[in-house]
Amino acid sequence: MIKRGLIFVCLLIGAIQILYAQDCPDLLDPANGAVNVPIDATINWETVEGVTGYIISIGTTPGGIDIVNAQPTGSIPSYTPELGLPDNTLVYVTITLFYFNLPDIVCQSQSFQTEDIVVPPICTALTSPSNGATDVNIATNINWSYALGATGYILTVGTSPGSGDLVNNLDVGNALSYNLQSDLPPETEIFVRIIPYNENGQPLGCSEESFTTGILAALPDCTTVIDPLDGAINVPLTPLIEWEEVAGAAGYLVYIGTTPFENDILDGGIFTETSAYVINFESNTVYFIRVVPFNASGEALGCVQSSFSTILGCGPFLNPDTGDLETLNPELSFPDQVGICLDAIPNIIYATDMADGYRWYQYDDQGELFLISEESEAEISEVGLYRYEAYLTSDQAGFTVECPSFKDFTVVSSERANINGVNLTDSPVSFDLEVIVSGIGNYEFSIGSELGPFQESNVFNDIPENTSMVYVRDRNGCGIATFDISSLIIKKGFPKFFTPNNDGINDSWQYIANQEDGFQLEIIYIFNRYGKLIISLDPNSAGWTGEVDGYRLPTSDFWYRAVTTEGRSFFGHFTLRR
């Protein structure tokens, strides 16, 4: 991901390179080459990250538009043809990728074969005006729903059942609406029959429907959206939408959606003025808008849609030089867990990433976030769940856009380690060392330096006799504890073996003190090789002669644990030889 706003320069130069760098989407359903595809199929294709929008064309030849001509679908990678698909036909689908400030990418056509319909279509029904509607404006158009399998429709309209005195058995072709040449008579029941057909014939028994017109009155004309203009790009995310005032309009219905077919942003919002604020548009998105004036007589007829594209925002974008997807959001390296030191509350935690701004939040008991800092650091006084946010800013079309990244993290209690002692065991030329600690921190260990290297294990093998210090560091930054082991590494003070044969040499085993000792022993425990305690030895006695309860033990290895008056312990082993 890109870390600064230089991508906007890249988007304005070398744009043609993207034609060779960006992959086109494959059809998902129906797949390229599919057969027996339903004629009412919805066409779905792969999502292309970083694309602003899609345009679909459908025809009976590669690149053809005779079925659907360059229909935008916004950022939605699917489309359902309003009039269905022709049956028993090789259908070609062409997807065009639309980007800001970059050339459109027209992808290679893909195709599939539709099913063969061998029966007439089913009947259809009025959609507008609906069957039974009243007070319908006399200038209304007749609209009906798609009939599966239809390739055309026969329309009859009259002022009495079956009369056809207004429109009589007119073949309107493959269309779903009809604009009468003259207005309908006012305050009259209008009877409509629509019969679909295809090469297999017409359905039987399609019923007649009716509606009643209102009084003679003038509808308002349509208006024009003047800001954003149709086709505008880099529109801010909170725009003021404005349209022309229309004489005789009592108000305006505003429809906004992310596709031409769905008003998922605003569905018929009523406004009495000629402008409206819309907040929180998504960046890098195409929006479709239609404004319909209305008055007491009804709504304006035939008002068209316009569209515009919002500012680039934070991405992802296609880098025209590399063809890679990039964003303006900062990359975060903040840890999953942070410790607060119990002896230093409140603790200060710091951002770990370069950014233009920061925010810190804490989750409350209900899981809601509340802001605790807008600096690169924050005071933390209690454990719990928090959120760290860093953002970069970018100037786009005169507006400053924040591009944030965030990371939830857990705060846990921590403290400096307490080193309770060490266990030393000897080997022929070195020592093994185990560090015994207590505390609620997350600790790591070193015997080389307080700067490390540190390890997770508290056991060190084959340490040299010149080792002097042990360091235990809290990973959450609550300090380093030290322990001096130099006075404990005195293996020469404990004999490696003894030979109790009464020859006056090595007849007993006992610790031999020396002037370098920085401790005083209190007691020595001697264990057999199975770990069973066999004797407790006074460090000031003559030593152990290899007997237990008057019984002379045979040749074997034994272990000792020597405990100092300060409670420190260290271990080793020796051999009894007969």
Write a three-state SS string for 91-138: EEEEEEEECCCCCCEECCCEEEEECCCCCCCCCCCEEECCCCCCCECC
pLDDT at residue 87, rounded to an integer:
94
550: left (phi over 0), alpha (psi -120 to 50) or beta: left
- Ramachandran angles phi, psi of 194, nearest 5°: -120, 120
E strand or H helix at 177: strand 177-178
Tell me the C-alpha distance between 302 and 295, whole Å. 15
- Please check whether the two domains, 7-113 and 337-412, share a CATH topology: yes
**464 touches 544 (CB < 8 A):** no
Q: Which CATH number does the domain 491-576 belong to among 1.10.10, 2.20.200, 2.60.40, 3.10.150?
A: 2.60.40
pLDDT at residue 430, rounded to an integer:
62
Question: What radius of gyration do the chain's Cα atoms show?
Answer: 43
Give the fold, CATH level 3, of 337-412.
Answer: Immunoglobulin-like (2.60.40)
Tell me the C-alpha distance between 84 and 67, whole Å. 9
**138 touches 189 (CB < 8 A):** no
Beta bridge partners of residue 189, listed in sequence order: 212
Task: Report pTM.
Answer: 0.56
**268 touches 254 (CB < 8 A):** yes
70: left (phi over 0), alpha (psi -120 to 50) or beta: left
**450 touches 482 (CB < 8 A):** yes
pLDDT at residue 5, rounded to an integer:
34
Beta bridge partners of residue 47, listed in sequence order: none
Tell me the C-alpha distance between 12 and 102, whole Å. 7
Apex 361 CA angle, 357 and 366, nearest 5: 155
Q: Which of 297, 315, 125, 327 is nearest to 220 (CA)?
A: 297
- Give the E-state strand segments of 345-397 in sequence order: 347-350, 357-363, 369-373, 377-380, 384-396
Domain boundaries, the chain: 7-113, 126-212, 337-412, 437-484, 491-576
**179 touches 226 (CB < 8 A):** no
DSSP-based three-state secondary structure for 149: coil
Mean pLDDT by 10 residues, the chain (578 residues): 33 36 84 96 92 92 94 91 94 91 88 95 94 90 94 96 95 94 93 96 94 86 94 85 93 92 90 87 88 88 90 74 78 90 84 94 93 94 94 82 92 89 68 87 89 92 80 89 75 76 87 76 92 92 92 91 85 84
Q: Which CATH number does the domain 126-212 belong to among 2.60.40.1240, 3.40.50.150, 2.60.40.10, 2.130.10.10?
A: 2.60.40.10
CA 546 centroid distance within chain:
72
pLDDT at residue 320, rounded to an integer:
64
Q: Which of 62, 68, 72 is nearest to 84 (CA)?
A: 68
Tell me the C-alpha distance between 340 and 347, whole Å. 6
**54 touches 307 (CB < 8 A):** no
| Burial (Cβ within 10 Å: 0-12, 13-18, ≥19) of residue 532 | exposed
Residue 313 corresponds to which tokens in the numbers above?
């925002």
Task: Examine residue 62 and say whether the peptide bond preceding it is cis (omega within 30 degrees of 0).
Answer: no
Q: Which of 310, 323, 324 is nearest to 401 (CA)?
A: 310
First and final C-alpha spacing in the chain: 75
Tell me the C-alpha distance between 278 and 477, whole Å. 48
- Give the E-state strand segments of 458-498 in sequence order: 459-463, 469-474, 480-484, 497-498
Tell me the C-alpha distance between 270 and 293, whole Å. 10
Q: Which CATH number does the domain 7-113 belong to among 2.60.40.10, 3.40.50.1100, 2.60.120.10, 3.60.21.70?
A: 2.60.40.10
DSSP-based three-state secondary structure for 527: strand
